[in-house]
Structure 1
Amino acid sequence: MPFELSVYTATAITLIVIMDPPGQVPVFLSLVGRRPPEFRRKAAWQAPLVSLFVISLFAVGGRAILAYLHIGIPALQGAGGLLLLLVALQLLTGSGEPRTAASSDDVNVALVPLGTPLLAGPGAIAAVIVAVSEGHGDIGAYTAIGAAILTAHAVVCLALLYSTTLIRILKPGGITLLAKIAGLLLAAIAVQLVATSVIGFAATA
C-alpha cells in the first residue's frame, strides 16, 4: 500500500499541537534547570523516549488495553489531571524545585511528569487511538501514523535539547520564577483535564 501522506500530515500536526513542544519548555526548565548539564541532556531525550514508548503501546493495542481494564478516555483525563495537579502544587510551593545534584530519583523526572502525562497525555493517547481506528487495516495509513508519531517526538526532543541553552540566560532567579509560572500553568491544565473528565463521565451516564 502507498504511504498515506494526508494521514501522516494530519496525525503529525495533531500530535505536535497536543504535545505543544514550546509549551513544554518552561516546565522542563523548571524541573531540570538546576540539575547538572549531563542530567539535563539525558532528560531532554529520555522524556520523549518514554512518551514514544507509551504512545506506541496505545497505538498498537490501545483499544484492547482500555477495554480489558474497563477504562475510558475520561478516566485517563481525570488521572492525568490529578497527577499534573500534584506536580503543579509542588512547583508553586517550592517543595518540588529541582535539586542541585543528581540523586537516585532523577529518572523519575523524565518518567513523571515529563514523559507522561505531559507528553504522553490523555489527549495524545486518544488522538493516536482514533487515528489507528480510522486506518481500517490500511498498511499505508498505519505506516504514516507510525512516521507521524516519530516526527512529533523528534520535534519535542529538539525543543527540549535546545531549551537548555536558555539556562545560562535565566540564571537561578529566573529558573525559580519560571517554576512558579509553570506551576500555575500546569494547575490550570490539570483543572481543565479534570473538568473534561467530569463532562465525559456525565455524557456517558
Structure 2
Amino acid sequence: MESTFVSATILLILITDPLGNIPLFIAALKQVKPERRRLVIYRECLIAFCVLLAFMFGGQTFLKVMHLTDESLSVAGGVILFLIAIKMIFPGEGGALGSDKVSGEPFIVPIAIPLIAGPSAMATVLLMATREPDRMLEWVGALTITMLVTTVVFLFSTRLQKLLGEQAITALERLMGLVLAAISIEMLLGGIAAYIRQFG
C-alpha cells in the first residue's frame, strides 16, 4: 500500500487518537496545578515527538541489527494496528493508563509514552521510514502535523469534552477505529503479498 503525505498524516492521527485519549489525558493531569498544565502538555508532546522521530530515523539500523525484513515489519504493524482498532471499536475497562492511579505531575509516562507515542505509533513511523526512506521529509512533516493536532486537542481537552460529551467522543473513536481496522488489514495483506512474491 503506497502512502501519500495526506494518508500518512491521517494514519498517524488515527493511531495517536487524541480525541479518544481525552478522558485518559484529563485523568493524568488531575493532580497537576492548572497554571502548570499548559507547560506539561507542551513538554510531553515534545518528548513524544522526539521519541517517534528517533524511531523514524533509526528504523533502517534497527531492522539490520535485528535481522528483520520490511515484509515482516509490515505484517507485524498490521496486526498491532488491527488490535488497536479493535480496542477503539470495542473499548473495555481501563485503557492506556491501565488500572494504576496517576499521582503527582506526569513525566514521560503515561502521557508521552504510551498515550501518544505508543507501540503502534512507533511501529508505524518505523515502517514508513524503512519502506520509503527517500520520502523522509514527507514523513517528518506528517508526524509534525500529527503532533500539532495532538497538542491542540490536549490544550482544549476539557472544553472539547464538555462541548462534545462522552458519547460523541466515543462515537468518533469507534468511527476512527473502523477506518484504522481497514488500514491495518491493507497493511497486513500488503506484507503477505510482498513476502509471497519473493518466491514467485
Q: Which TM bucket (shorter chain)?
A: 0.5 to 0.7
Note if 1:78 corresponds to 2:67.
no
Q: Residues 28 and 114 of structure 1 are in contact (CA less than 8 Å); yes or no, is this contact kept in structure 2?
A: no
Alignment deviations for residues 5-42 of structure 1 (CA, whole Å, 9 cap, x no partner): xxxxxxxx965652337843882211344421557666
What is the CA-CA distance between 1:199 and the residue it aligns to? 0.7
The equivalent position to 1:187 in structure 2, one of 177, 181, 184, is 181
Aligned counterpart, 2:33: none
Cα 1:68/1:56, change in 2 over 3 Å: closer
Aligned counterpart, 1:140: none
Amino acid at match of 1:127: E
Aligned counterpart, 2:34: none
Cα 1:57/1:121, change in 2 over 3 Å: closer
Alignment deviations for residues 48-84 of structure 1 (CA, whole Å, 9 cap, x no partner): 22211101212xxx1x543443321111111111111
Q: Distance in 1 between matches of 2:127 and 2:151?
A: 24
Q: Distance in 1 between matches of 2:53 and 2:147?
A: 11
Alignment deviations for residues 120-164 of structure 1 (CA, whole Å, 9 cap, x no partner): 152243222xx28xxxxxxxxxxxx6x766544332221211233
Stretches of 4+ aligned residues off by more than 6 angstroms:
none
Q: Distance in 1 between matches of 2:120 and 2:42?
A: 14
Note if 1:19 corresponds to 2:20.
no
SS in 2 for 1:71: coil
Aligned counterpart, 1:7: none
Q: Distance in 2 between matches of 1:167 and 1:44?
A: 19
The unaligned stretches of length 5 or more in structure 1 are 1-12, 133-144
What is the CA-CA distance between 1:185 and the residue it aligns to? 1.5
Q: Distance in 2 between matches of 1:195 and 1:54?
A: 24
SS in 2 for 1:94: coil
Amino acid at match of 1:88: A
What is the CA-CA distance between 1:43 and the residue it aligns to? 5.2
Aligned counterpart, 1:51: 52
The unaligned stretches of length 5 or more in structure 2 are 30-36, 104-108
Alignment TM-score, normalising by the size of structure 1 = 0.66
Q: Distance in 2 between matches of 1:46 and 1:70?
A: 28
Q: CA RMSD in A?
A: 3.4
The equivalent position to 2:21 in structure 1, one of 28, 31, 44, is 31
Alignment of 1:56-205 (within 5 A): 56-58=57-59, 62=60, 64-95=61-92, 98=95, 102=102, 107-113=113-119, 115-118=121-124, 120-128=125-133, 131=134, 151-164=141-154, 165=156, 166-205=160-199
Cα 1:199/1:148, change in 2 over 3 Å: closer
Q: Residues 16 and 117 of structure 2 are in contact (CA less than 8 Å); yes or no, is this contact kept in structure 1?
A: no
The percentage of counterpart residues that share the same residue type is 17
Cα 1:34/1:71, change in 2 over 3 Å: closer
Amino acid at match of 2:85: A
SS in 2 for 1:95: coil
Equivalent residues, number: 173
